Amino acid sequence: MTKSIKDAAERQLDRVLSFFPRVEAKGSFLFALNTGLLALLALNLSFDDFRVWFLVIPAISVLLIISVSLYFLYRSSFPTLKGGTNSLIYFREIAKRTEARFIDDFVAQAEDAHTRDLLGQVWRNSEILKMKYDALKIAFVLSALALIPWVIFLALAAVAHSGGLIFK
């Protein structure tokens, strides 16, 4: 392969890798939002609320939906990293070698093999990035859906706790 293909492969790998901080930042924001929603739910939930069905149902709904959202945030943060067998670019494969063996293997590789390894990493990192974005999208949708029962619970709890509703 030509040097221009190798250069293009390097630029493409850099481009794909540049998307990872974006998904990580969105995931961090969503984790903070989810924990904030749960904290406000907990602060507004009293023991007597568990006896009132119209408070328990939205509270449990929020808890369940946010829990599933947190699961998908976990999946986004820790996607499957298998692949890249024998790569001299992929960190997991590099770590399987000793330092001396990695250096020897890297220096000894043909330019064509290095370009193919770069392109393999572009493809594999794109797969990982897709998994991360897909999981993050589901987490975002679930968090947005959780806002509905969360607002309902807070409104009903405010009325109930102010004496506007009778607990039976």
**Residue among 162, 75, 66, 83 at smallest CA distance from 127:** 83
Residue 146 is which amino acid? A
Q: How many helices (H) and strands (E) does the chain have?
A: 6, 0
Nearest to 131 by CA among 79, 71, 60: 79
Question: Nearest Cα to 62, choosing from 159, 133, 158, 154?
Answer: 154
What is the identity of the amino acid at 30? L
Q: Which residues of the chain have pLDDT under 50?
A: none
